[in-house]
Amino acid sequence: MTTARRLLISASLAATSVTQAHAFEPEGKVECLAPADPGGGWDFTCRSVGTVMEDLELVPRSVQTVNMPGASGGVAYAHVVSKREGDDQLLVAASTATTTRLAQGQFQGLDAEMVNWIGALGADYGIIAVADDAPYQSLQDVVDALQNDPQAVTFAGGSSKGGWDHLKVLMMAQEAGISDLPHIKYLSYTGGGEAMTQVVGGHVNAFTGDISEAQGFLESGDLRVLAVLSDERLPGEFSDIPTAKEQGIDVVGPNWRGFYMPADISDEAEQYWIDAMDSLYTSEEWKTVMRQNGLMPFHMSAGEFETFVKEQIDDIETLSKDIGLIQE
């Protein structure tokens, strides 16, 4: 690793000695665990961050993405907690989907205290999309269909029932005044890529996921986004996609993208990866990735990020109770 890169990584530790700041450096293979099949948001997070880390020489070799689907992230979370304790060469992709399942008690016997929350590197906003040849031309068309019959539109997403992708549909429907939320059809797939394939293939009516997941299908013209769940339109090539808010449905669904690591890694290792994420976030290479994939600025690290995660878990637990997904 070059001296310049070492100085870049340790910039936030200027008050500490050089020896202390560099007590840990990754050696050999760094693994990034994506808790879903290829093609989804966690897979995108691992692969894009891994590439930029390699470009910035923040890792000694390539970052290997390992896909571990199952239970909307639960299989990977349990694996990290039970089998990877102390592994300081392992990064795990996480998002609002992770905190959603923790909030709903879906990772049985596991909680947010059992891992180290390293940092968030951007926010990926939710979308409602359909196949290009679908009859729905606007979000209101979907709402009208649901108001006539809550089972008229079937949604596909990369999270399990009650997960973040499902919650986005329910929040949208609730805001639109649809009361029979439990009867809205939602099909769960192991990742956003599989869900979109079902929609594009005409097997499911609509996709609920995030803008970064849909990039390839948008470029091919197979998928048409009816609404992005953001406060304002996204910049660049996504600027022609209307928000749900401007269509009269005031719902916002940001999905942060970030990482956790196993418990019981050394303080030096944890600080190294926190600093590496900080350096990556400010790099031009990562800004380009964000711009090209619809990610919006959102960055937290260390204690601030851990506090945010725990507060979000509390908020999602309350929301899930309000709409009847979990019992009081």
Domain count, the chain: 2
Q: What is the pLDDT of residues 27-84, one digit of tens each?
A: 989 999 999 999 888 999 999 999 999 999 999 999 999 999 998 899 999 999 999 9
Same domain, 112 and 178: no
CA distance 269 to 274: 9
What angle separates helix 164-175 from helix 302-322, to the nearest 10 degrees? 50
pLDDT for residue 105 is more than 60:
yes
Q: What integer pLDDT is reported at residue 22 of this predicted model?
A: 53
Q: What integer pLDDT is reported at residue 2 of this predicted model?
A: 54
Choosing from 212, 247, 282, the residue where a domain stops is 247
Same domain, 132 and 230: yes
Range of the domain at 312: 3-8+26-124+255-322
What pTM does this model have?
A: 0.79
| 8 A C-beta contact, residue 211 and residue 228 | yes
Count the residues in the chain. 328
Kindly report the average pLDDT of the chain as a whole number: 90
Choosing from 221, 247, 273, the residue where a domain stops is 247
Both structure tokens of 29: 């293979």
Average pLDDT on 91-120 reads 95
The domain spanning residue 193 has which CATH number? 3.40.190.10
CA distance 12 to 20: 13
Region of 95 on the Ramachandran plot (φ > 0 left; ψ -120 to 50 alpha; else beta): beta
Q: What is the pLDDT of residues 261-294, one digit of tens each?
A: 999 999 999 999 999 999 999 999 999 999 888 8
The domain spanning residue 281 has which CATH number? 3.40.190.150
